Amino acid sequence: MMKQKSVKLIVVFLICLCAGLPVSAAFKLNNSIHKAVPVSFSSLLSPIVFNKLFPLRNKFYSYNSLVQAVQNLAQIKIQIEKRGPFIYKITRFDKHTGKQVVVRQDKDWNEPWAQQKEYTSTIIDYGLFCNHSDQKINQRELAAFFAQAAHETRDGQDGRFNDGLMLKRELDTTNTYVAANVFYPAIAGKRYYGRGPLQLSYNGNYGFASDCIFGDKNKLLADPDLILKDPVIAFETAIYFWMTPQGTKPSAHDVIIGKWKPSAADQAKGWTAGFGMVTNIVNGAIECNHGDALPAMKNRAGYYQHYLQLFGLTDSRKCSCGSMQPFP
């Protein structure tokens, strides 16, 4: 073990020497390499594979930033309690500190009439992102996550599947993406257009993400450009969106790993587990129930098949949402 560490340090010294860096930089680089990558995630995705998946990526989206985001959110769990479909209480658990904080409780939560509503409770453990006991399930989830991110951030030629993670924000920033939201109101002058790997949009999503990631709704509501400034935060918002069910939608995570099981009513809407359902969650209102030839939907599925092939996997489940009713 000591020999392996010594060889590794020598290699790092040689790298720094060739780059003209001081000896002190070698110790810093060695420590960062040793600490940056959790064993579980690095065994799933290496820097070499990451670069192969995104050969034209913006350098903003670095491998180490992704790993750090995974590592940061692995320390967070969220409990979402609801009375009926729209009255929320959200509790955030920090595994590292053991701290538990109610970050949101709607004003009607304790009203007698609200307590008569159907009560549901969901635990979201962000440490379960691509962290199943079956590594093939993790690879399929990562392929699906990357496929959606690649489509949202692409800036190249159709059919090559090499142009993902190129854009940090959507090209048209004239739309403010502001919607009435009592708990996550827009701040005057701020625009909540799509930013980051999954193009987080609308003030409601910015506030919800900020509550879950930071325990403070105002961090992203007040400064949505944090997603453009800090690549770790950018990846954190994408993982948050992937793992967190929104309204009546299941989470993309639960769908792709097979945890979500469609009811008879779901099946009547054409909803089945698989990548097509993930697209319905991400952008179903625009891309689903329009047949199988819609270019945007086909591009997402094409990325998924491309990444599956690079991982040496297949997925027989439905990749299209062409006949799925979108969520209301």
- Which has the closest alpha carbon to 326: 289, 282, 293? 289
Residue 147 has which token pair? 């496929």
Torsion angles phi and psi, residue 90, rounded to 5: -120, 125
The DSSP call for residue 91 is E
Question: Coil, helix or strand for 200?
Answer: strand
Question: Could you tell me where the beta strands, DSSP code E, fall in 12-154?
Answer: 76-83, 87-94, 100-105, 119-125
Dihedral sign for Cα atoms in the order 53, 66, 295, 324: positive
Residue 49 has which token pair? 């594979």
Question: Coil, helix or strand for 89?
Answer: strand
Number of CB atoms found within 10 A of residue 72's CB: 17
Q: How far, in Å, CA of 209 to CA of 17, rounded?
A: 43
Q: How far, in Å, CA of 125 to CA of 128, rounded?
A: 6
Q: How far, in Å, CA of 39 to CA of 30, rounded?
A: 16
Catalytic hit among 118, 141, 152, 287: 152
Q: Which positions ≥6 away from 194 have C-beta within 8 Å?
A: 152, 169, 170, 177, 200, 201
Q: Is 152 a catalytic residue?
A: yes
Residue 243 has which token pair? 């793992």
Q: How far, in Å, CA of 4 to CA of 233, rounded?
A: 34
Q: How far, in Å, CA of 166 to CA of 283, rounded?
A: 19
Overall residue count recorded for the chain in this entry:
328
Catalytic residues: 152
